[in-house]
Amino acid sequence: MLFNSLKYAIFLPIVVALFWAIPQKWRVPLLLLASYIFYMSWRPAFIVLIIALTVVNYLLGNAIWKSENRKKFWLTVSIVLNLSTLAFFKYAYFFDDVAASCLAPLGVTVAKLPFDIILPLGISFFVFEFIHYCTDVYRGNEPIKSFIAFALFASFFPTQIAGPIKRFQDFIPQFMSPAKFCWQHFDDGIALILLGLFKKVLIADNLAFFVQGGFAHPELFHGLDLWIFTYAFAFQIYFDFSGYTDIARGSAMLFGYKVPINFNLPYLATSIAEFWHRWHISLSTWLRDYLFIPLGGSRCPKWVNARNLVITMTLGGLWHGAAMHYLLWGLFHGCLLVAHKEFQTFKKSVSVLSNAFNSSAGKWFSMLLTFHAVCIGWVLFRAEDIASCGQILEKLFFIDALKAHASPLAMNLPAINYPLIYPSIYFVLPILAIAHIVMGKVDKTNFVENSPKLVKAAWCVAMILLIVVFSPDKSPRFIYFQF
Partner 1 sequence: MVVQAPAKIPTPVRSKPQPTRIRTARYLSYVLVAVAVLALLDVGARISYPHWNIDRYDSPNKSWIWWAVSDFHKQQQTPDVVLLGSSLMLEALNTGDATYLKHPQNVSLHHTSTCLQDDLGAKLGYKPRTFSFAIAGQMASDAYAIASTLLNGQSKPTTIVYGIAPRDFMDNTLTNVTTTETFRYLSRVGDLSKTISASKPSFFEVIDHWFENISFIYKHRVDLACIEQHAAKALLASIGHHDLDTYNVPFELRRIALKEVFEDVASNETMVCPYGNPPVPYLDNLAEYRQRYAHMNAKMFKSQLGYLEQLLQYGKEQNINVVLVNMPLTTDNVATMPPGFYENYLAQIADMSGKYKSKLVDLNRPGMFNRGYFADSAHLNGLGGMRFFELLSQSLVDNHVELRRTK
Are 372 and 393 a contacting pair, CB within 8 Å?
no
Q: Which region among 119-127, 308-316, 329-337, 470-478 touches partner 1 (by CB under 8 A)?
A: 470-478
14 binds partner 1 (CB under 8 A): no
412 binds partner 1 (CB under 8 A): yes
CB of 336 vs partner 1, minimal distance in Å: 31
Of these, 51, 409, 433, 439, which contacts partner 1 (CB under 8 A)?
409
CB of 254 vs partner 1, minimal distance in Å: 11
Q: Which of 81, 132, 90, 393 is nearest to 260 (CA)?
A: 132
> Is 320 among the catalytic positions?
yes
Q: Which is nearer to partner 1, 118 or 416 (CB)?
A: 416
CB of 259 vs partner 1, minimal distance in Å: 19
Q: Which region among 99-107, 122-130, 296-304, 407-415 touches partner 1 (by CB under 8 A)?
A: 407-415
Q: Which of 289, 381, 275, 285 is nearest to 337 (CA)?
A: 275
Q: Which is nearer to partner 1, 190 or 311 (CB)?
A: 190
CB of 36 vs partner 1, minimal distance in Å: 21
187 binds partner 1 (CB under 8 A): yes
453 binds partner 1 (CB under 8 A): yes
Q: Which is nearer to partner 1, 38 or 319 (CB)?
A: 38
CB of 243 vs partner 1, minimal distance in Å: 18
Q: Which is nearer to partner 1, 184 or 349 (CB)?
A: 184
17 binds partner 1 (CB under 8 A): no
Q: What is the largest CA-CA distance in the chain?
A: 74
Who's near 16: CB < 8 A, 6+ residues apart? 254, 255
Could you say which of 280, 320, 325, 340 is catalytic? 320
Q: Which region among 98-106, 159-167, 262-270, 455-463 touches partner 1 (by CB under 8 A)?
A: 455-463
379/429 Cα distance (integer angstroms): 17
465 binds partner 1 (CB under 8 A): yes
Binding mask 147-186 for partner 1 (x = CB under 8 A): ------------------------------------xx-x
400 binds partner 1 (CB under 8 A): no
212 binds partner 1 (CB under 8 A): yes
For helices 386-397 and 360-382, what crossing angle results, to 10°? 150
1 binds partner 1 (CB under 8 A): no
* SS (HEC) of 353-366: HHHHHHCHHHHHHH
6 binds partner 1 (CB under 8 A): yes
Are 232 and 203 a contacting pair, CB within 8 Å?
no
CB of 10 vs partner 1, minimal distance in Å: 7
Of these, 103, 176, 438, 461, which contacts partner 1 (CB under 8 A)?
461
406 binds partner 1 (CB under 8 A): no
Chain residues 413-442 in contact with partner 1, contact rule CB under 8 A = 413, 415-418, 420-421, 423-424
Active site residues: 320
Report the interface residues with partner 1, using CB under 8 A.
Answer: 6-7, 10, 183-184, 186-187, 190-191, 209, 212-213, 216-217, 220, 407, 409, 412-413, 415-418, 420-421, 423-424, 453-454, 456-458, 460-461, 464-465, 468-470, 472, 476
